[in-house]
Amino acid sequence: MKKQIDLKETKIYSDFVFDFLNENKNLKDFYNSSFDIKSFKKQIEMKKSFSMTKRNVLVKELLSQYSDIDNKKVLNNINLLLNESTFTITTGHQLSILTGPIFFIYKIISVINLCVKLKKEYPKNNFLPVFWLASEDHDFEEISEVYFRNKKINYSTKYKGAVGRMKLDDFNIFLHQIFNNFPKNDLSKRLKKIISSVYKNELTLAKATRNIVHQLFGDKGLIIIDPDSHNIKKEFASYMEDELINNTCEEFVNETIMSIKKVYSEKYTPQVNSREINLFYLKTNSRDRIIKKDSKFILSDKKLSQKEVISELNKNPENFSPNVLMRPLYQEVILPNLCYIGGPSEMSYWLQLKSFFDYHSVVFPIINPRASVLLLTPKMRRKINKYFIRENEIFLKNDHFINLNIKKHSDIDINLDYLKTALQKQFKVLDNLVKKTDSSFLGAVNAQKKKQFNGIDKLEKRLLKAQKRKMSSIESDLKNIYNEIYPEDVFQERIINFIDFYLHHGDTFLKNLFSNIDMFEKKFLVLDIK
């Protein structure tokens, strides 16, 4: 069973992003095409000039990255990129250990399902799902934690460079902690085998992440790309050179932010602020911002002139890394991409970039949020049905959720609004007397009104507290329901790992997601798994 909830009710998106999704006319300058199946025709036309040279470089690089994997469907898809009628649909994420929060999975299913839909609508074209490994990020703390069976399990390291280059030293110790929490069943044996085969000490985190994603989605033809590559960065070198010399990203992003603030004023906070130079310099165990000071470029421990830094860029482009604002441009330069699927925060910073893309004459892609899902086990569903909890109530804050449902099941009326209504009528009489007497009487009336209404609020709170004691078992059940939806006070999809569901439902839960995620529905999905 599935239920769909209007995105407005979820409060997942800022007003800014929500207005974009609803095609607010005030935002039309910040994107090319809306997310509609008919809009892809326009996007195909704009992107069909993608150069064959870049396609050849891309295919050669991907075949190299897949040299140790024998999967006919994926390899066939890679070779299809040599066809001018082939385009990509892309998503990406950090290299979260064991895929991290389950929305990592939702992202991938979103692009795969979108490609299937587009093929039906435009049969003369090929649409390939691509997963972009954010292998050049450096904040390992963000990705090192796995939340599984109500526990946080961490893999620790002293490594400080680009996370994709990190070797998995002593990873077997971490895996042992994970496996100790596995139930004893056939699905556990199967998953242990998969995980053990892809997370090996001699591998980098980028290769291990690629391997586990491939194990889960390779049969769907998903192409996984590691952008930390000499050959494909060489295709992006001229854009990085411009950034070093002209600082154009900062200029255009700041202009866009000012334009958005004219519409949203104080309600808008930029997702990402630009820097003077939006590039990093990578070394074996470091990832440092490139800074310009006194006409010199500081690259880790080196100070270079403009001529020297450009020479270094052209010789070793793999040592230069786009930051979060330059990365979208990099992606669209090297891929024949039509659409990017991301999370709410990603939508926000992509919408800061349209004018920057225009400056570089790079086609701005269609952007749209990933699928967002709450998975309900049969046990959770029984509890929700027992207490008549409506799907839109799952987005309430903890106390509000508990109090609302306590009131719902109370045998007395805890809501004292009827008393406030009666009191309001009584004070209308006094308000009329004020008009007929001295205005100084108004202060006394208002003070008494405030006192009386505050008194009812206090009584309502005490009544609720007393009823909670009487209904302690129901309150306990409601807290358990809420904690399953928000483990560690974090929404399920943003913390819980897919392993929790896989160990009980196997591939069935993935098939369920594939069957029910439709990117054009633009709804939040509450999905029962069996």
> For the segment 172-222, what is each residue's pLDDT rounded down to a tens digit?
899 999 999 999 999 999 999 999 999 988 899 999 999 999 999 999 999
Q: In angstroms, rounded to a whole number, what is the distance separating the alpha carbons of residues 229 and 319?
A: 9
Beta bridge partners of 153: 146
State residue 452's pLDDT score.
66
State residue 422's pLDDT score.
55
State residue 417's pLDDT score.
59
Residue 340 DSSP code: E
Q: Model confidence over 34-66: pLDDT tens digits?
A: 999 999 999 999 999 999 999 999 999 999 999
Q: Please name the residue that has the structure tokens 């199967």.
A: 190
Residues of the chain with pLDDT under 50: 412
State residue 284's pLDDT score.
84
Q: In angstroms, rounded to a whole number, what is the distance separating the alpha carbons of residues 155 and 497?
A: 15
State residue 201's pLDDT score.
83
Q: Alpha-carbon Rg of the chain, whole angstroms? A: 27
Give Cα separations from 354 to 91, 102, 132, 348, 366 (angstroms): 18, 30, 20, 12, 11
State residue 409's pLDDT score.
67
Q: In angstroms, rounded to a whole number, what is the distance separating the alpha carbons of residues 151 and 297?
A: 45
State residue 435's pLDDT score.
60
Residues 6+ apart with CB under 8 A from 265: none
State residue 169's pLDDT score.
84
β-sheet with 279-283: strand ranges across? 286-289, 279-283, 320-322
Q: Estimate the crossing angle of helix 472-485 against helix 441-470, to 10 degrees.
A: 90
pTM of the model: 0.88
Strand locations in 18-105, DSSP E? 86-94
Beta bridge partners of 132: 92, 225
Nearest residue to 279 (alpha-carbon basis) of 256, 257, 306, 250 = 250
State residue 387's pLDDT score.
84
CB 143 within 8 A of CB 96: yes
